[in-house]
Amino acid sequence: MSKVKSSNLGYPRIGEKREWKRALEQFWSEKLTEEAFLKQIKELRLSYLEKQKNSGIDLIPIGDFSLYDHILDTSVLFGLVPERFNHKNGKVSLDTYFSIARGSKDAVASEMTKWFNTNYHYIVPEIKPDAKPYITENRLLKLYLEAKKELNIDGKPVIVGPITLLKLSKGFEKEDFPNLLRSLIPLYIDVFTDLQKAGATWIQVDEPILSTTLAKEDLNYFKETYEAFNNAVPNVNILLQTYFESVDHYQEVISLPVQGIGLDFVYDDGANLKSLKKYGFPEDKVLAAGIVDGRNIWRTDLDQTLHQATDLLQYVDQEHLWIQPSSSLQHVPVTVRQENELESVLKNAISFADEKLNEVVTLVKGLNEGHQAILNEIKQSKEAINALNQSSHRNIDSVKNEIQSLGEDLPTRPLPFSKRQAIQEKKWQLPLLPTTTIGSLPQTKEIRSARQKWRKGEWTESQYEQFIDQNIEKWIKIQEDLDIDVLVHGEFERNDMVEYFGEKLRGFAFTRFAWVQSYGSRCVKPPIIFGDVDLESPMTVKESAYAQSLTKRPVKGMLTGPVTIYNWSFVRNDISQFDVNKQIALALKKEIHALEENNIQMIQVDEPAIREGLPLKEEKKRKYLHDAVYVFRLATVYVENSTQIHTHMCYSEFDEIIDTIDQLDADVISIEAARSHGEIISTFEDYEYDKGIGLGVYDIHSPRIPSVEEIKTSIERALQVINPKLFWINPDCGLKTRNPNETIPALKNLVQATKEVRKKHLQLN
């Protein structure tokens, strides 16, 4: 009798305790030879495959593992190496591979950007219109044969599809797309042919671009591409895999000449299921149903999800149904097993990658053997979920009542900016082109060491606070000596711009080993928002007030905004995103009030992640941006007209959200712009922004110290389109990662450049 099968799309690369990260960084620092490094990496890679095999997964992905990034792997596979790396035809060396990702002494790294709407970053392929791709080495074949030989696993090779690869690339114009696609199609066919000859029965081709809003011509490209694959390699079974959203053109997608379609039934807002019920599904194709959440960390409600999967059997027979996560599991941590410090009511309700594989296998067992076969697992999942939902963490009446009392209208400051500006000018008496920094100042080895000693109990609270105060005092004096107009306290007490606040707010939890890959070897440990969020006591007042007591110049209070805290956390899924954001915003509103009461009346609420969270579908973006404006204003508008609200954003398609940024109604916005001044300035030529703004005048991500002339050029370029009375001068981001020997000279040059430009403009006017 035919049975439903279990499948996985991808597995975390980093290891339970970040063994992958350590191996990479030891190799980069020449503590490991290439041979020793590759041996360690192979052991890790095989251990991940064996773990999936032992969990009972039928279709195990091969090739999802990467030394850095899967998009970079695909680029290198097809010889798409930027010219500046001087690669000649043939296999790409490890040195060249890592140089593309990280840069070298002779060539800058390729650009890095967000992988759709996740917090993972990929290396952007650079492809010239006249590129001549070729196969450098069929790594998929090598990895497939390795798994077969070493572990007797007949795996499912995974590759990013050609249309998604090109859509995520740069370096060519729209009209070049068809020719580049046609140059890649034969190479994909060669890869597939080699895999077929080696015995592969299924190949997973990831085309997540299908989950975005596509034009009609894009659908024609899909038809052309997959017809070419089918004609050239008719005996290869291709699973066309989508994820992160629904597919808009469902009928066209399921009609493509492939043997299986992978659909996300978790993040589709019900649209994929609706299409399935309306249009059915081809009898001769496999439906790979993503019904276990691949991106968030909550335990699956096995009862509800089993019913959902059973419904799918009305449209697909058992032989043609696979159960799998909604996306690759690289977006979640490896395992819950080691999180022994979490409260049991929370730990029992969490599911990381290993646990999600078990859930997939359990659901398949329930479909094949009947509901009764997994009654115990269903009972356990329901009890764990109900226990958290009914706990005091998720039922704080004061928070619920406050949310229910909010109206739908956008919160609004008493006076518009034009009138607030006059009040603030009178209060602050700042010069033309005021100078400031974004917030954080260098976190030296000594500061990190002190924090570790305090956390381990080697230092008392009093010792640590005294150390932080000494650093604040030192840097207030440095800023005064540099003659910066608006100061910051430096954030020396903060480990991370989200984690710091999460540790002080009710409703957050933190793990020991729940790391996920952000980019390359950079791993992050997102906070878990698991309960109602509330402020129990002030979070930032002590340090900010102490800094202000040391100087007559204004010191900015520094907070992370609600949308960024949300987007950079694992978030509860029992209430809406909007309601969670409102809870965070109300907590920040109380903090802002406490800062005001303590004479901190310039307050910066950073929102670097607003753009990052944009939905993939055009029709969903409007609501998301409206909600982002609502919660920012909910946190910030209930202040005196003389209180100046600042915000900071990292640059990313700024013109796409300029209207939203304007609606935030912040008195001053600073934008990470040093690398893209020309693009941003063109935005202001088309959009008249009438509030205070600072475009970063030098790039803090580079250790080099910008000259006075260089900074003057940046300032003058911006003043071509921005009113000098509204323009602030600042670096493009926080200075946490820079050392004092870089920071102080750079800021000195910033102030000097500003004074020279200021003098010139005052003379002209």
Annotated binding residues for L-methionine, as ranges?
A: 438-440, 491, 606
What is the C-alpha R_g of the chain? Answer: 27
Q: List residues bridging with 698 in a β-sheet.
A: none
Reference 241, options 229, 253, 227, 223; nearest CA is 253
Q: How far apart are CA 478 and CA 444, in angstroms?
A: 16
Q: List residues bridging with 126 in a β-sheet.
A: 170
Reference 368, options 1, 737, 749; nearest CA is 1
Alpha helices in 431-510 (DSSP H): 445-455, 461-482, 499-502
Residues belonging to the binding site are 18-21, 114, 119, 438-440, 491, 522-523, 568, 606, 612, 648, 650, 672, 733
Torsion angle of the four alpha carbons 519, 528, 385, 401, in this order, in degrees rounded to the nearest 10: -140
Reference 360, options 403, 399, 398, 305; nearest CA is 305
Catalytic annotation, pick one of 371, 626, 701, 761: 701
DSSP character string of 565-586:
HHHTSEE-SSS-HHHHHHHHHH
Q: For this structure, is 701 an active site residue?
A: yes
Q: Is the dihedral of CA 727, 731, 734, 739 positive or negative?
A: negative
Q: How far apart are CA 139 and CA 299, in angstroms?
A: 35
Residues belonging to the binding site for L-homocysteine are 438-440, 491, 606
Reference 643, options 428, 411, 490, 416; nearest CA is 428
Q: Which residue has the tokens 């996920």?
A: 516
Q: How far apart are CA 500 and CA 495, in angstroms?
A: 6
Torsion angle of the four alpha carbons 451, 454, 458, 462, in this order, in degrees rounded to the nearest 10: 120
Amino acid 565 reads: I
Residues belonging to the binding site for 5-methyltetrahydropteroyltri-L-glutamate are 18-21, 114, 119, 522-523, 568, 612
Strand pairing category for 528-535 and 505-509: antiparallel
Residue 7, token pair as written in the block: 């499948």
Return the H-helix or E-strand segment holding 144: helix 139-151
Residues belonging to the binding site for Zn(2+) are 648, 650, 672, 733
Strand pairing category for 570-571 and 528-535: parallel
Q: How far apart are CA 694 and CA 670, in angstroms?
A: 4
Mapped onto helix, strand or coil, the DSSP state of residue 32 is coil
Q: Is the dihedral of CA 266, 164, 609, 662 positive or negative?
A: negative
Cβ pair 588, 631 in contact under 8 A? no
Q: Is the dihedral of CA 471, 473, 476, 478 positive or negative?
A: negative
Backbone angles phi, psi at 66, to 5 degrees: -145, 155
Q: How far apart are CA 199 and CA 184, in angstroms?
A: 23
Q: Beta-strand (E) ranges in 256-332?
A: 260-264, 286-292, 321-325
Reference 443, options 484, 503, 494; nearest CA is 494
Neighbours of 651 (CB within 10 A): 20
CB contact burial 410-434 (16+ within 10 A = b; e otherwise): ebebeeebeebbeebeebbebeebb
Q: How far apart are CA 657 and CA 625, in angstroms?
A: 8
Q: List residues bridging with 440 in a β-sheet.
A: 490
Q: How far apart are CA 332 and CA 65, in angstroms?
A: 15
Active site residues: 701
